[in-house]
Structure 1
Amino acid sequence: MELQPLFETPNFTIAHDDLHHWLYISWRGEYDCTAVITGCILILRHIELTKSQKILNDSSQVLDGWNEVTRWVGEAFFQELANHGVRAVAWVKAEDWPAQAAINEAMQYVSQPLADTFDDTVAACRWLENIR
């Protein structure tokens, strides 16, 4: 991946993969409801700027803190992604068990766009590459 950084904090990164024309999102550490929603809003803004139709959402380094927003992420945020033209989201699961459970719960509410979870970024990238 050749990534162009678009936004970066110690716990959150948004970058654009120029070769594949998708956004790479990296979440690290603990989050609360406000931080998750703020990150999601930033993602939507960068989708508007880049016109990306795919997202590699890397939560492998996320720790607990998503339980309060799992339904909102799965229903409202993913619907907004679809409304913004996103066709596919590959979500790399957290290694932290409570965070992984929250991701699994959020995925139960996703109706669109096409989304799947993965244990590593290599598998997630392969899946995204095959989405046309």
Structure 2
Amino acid sequence: MELQPLLETPDFAISHDAAHHWLYVAWRGEYNAVAAITGCLLILRHIEATRAQKILNDSSQMLDGWNEVTRWVGEEFFQQLASQGVAAVAWVKAHDWPAQAAIDKAMQYVTQPLVDTFDDTVTAYRWLDNIRV
């Protein structure tokens, strides 16, 4: 995977893998509702700019703070991703239990695009690489 950095902060990074037509997103640390939604909106902006069709969403280093936005993420954010042409999202779960519970809750609201959760990045990468769009 050859990544071109698009945005890098201590808590959040977005990179583009042009060969695979996907974004790699890394969430680190603790979030509140405003920071979580801001990160999601930044992803949407980079999906629009790159026309990426898949996302490897790495939340393995994310901590708690998502409970207030789980429904919005599952219903609104993922719907917006689908409407911008994203076909699949591989979501690496947080190692932090409260953050992992928030991811599980958000998944209950997702209807599109195709989303699956994983315990590690390697498995998520392989799954996403096998999805044909």
TM-score normalised according to structure 1 size: 0.99
C-alpha separation in 2, matches of 1:129 and 1:58:
15
Letter in 2 for 1:62: M
Q: Return 5+ residue gaps in structure 1 as ranges.
A: none
Aligned residues: 132
**Consecutive aligned runs of 4 or more in structure 1 exceeding 3 Å deviation:** none
2:107 paired with 1:102: no
C-alpha separation in 2, matches of 1:18 and 1:125:
15
Task: Name the counterpart of 2:59.
Answer: 59
Once the two structures are TM-superposed, the CA of residue 17 in structure 1 deviates from its matched residue by 1.1
C-alpha separation in 1, matches of 2:34 and 2:40:
10
2:75 paired with 1:75: yes
C-alpha separation in 1, matches of 2:27 and 2:88:
18
C-alpha separation in 2, matches of 1:7 and 1:75:
25
C-alpha separation in 1, matches of 2:66 and 2:45:
21
Q: Which moved more, 1:112-121 or 1:13-22?
A: 13-22
Letter in 1 for 2:43: I
Q: CA RMSD in A?
A: 0.5
Once the two structures are TM-superposed, the CA of residue 18 in structure 1 deviates from its matched residue by 2.2
Q: Return 5+ residue gaps in structure 2 as ranges.
A: none
Letter in 2 for 1:87: A
Task: Name the counterpart of 1:50.
Answer: 50
Alignment of 1:12-31 (within 5 A): 12-31=12-31
SS at the partner of 2:52?
Answer: coil
Letter in 1 for 2:69: V
TM-score normalised according to structure 2 size: 0.98
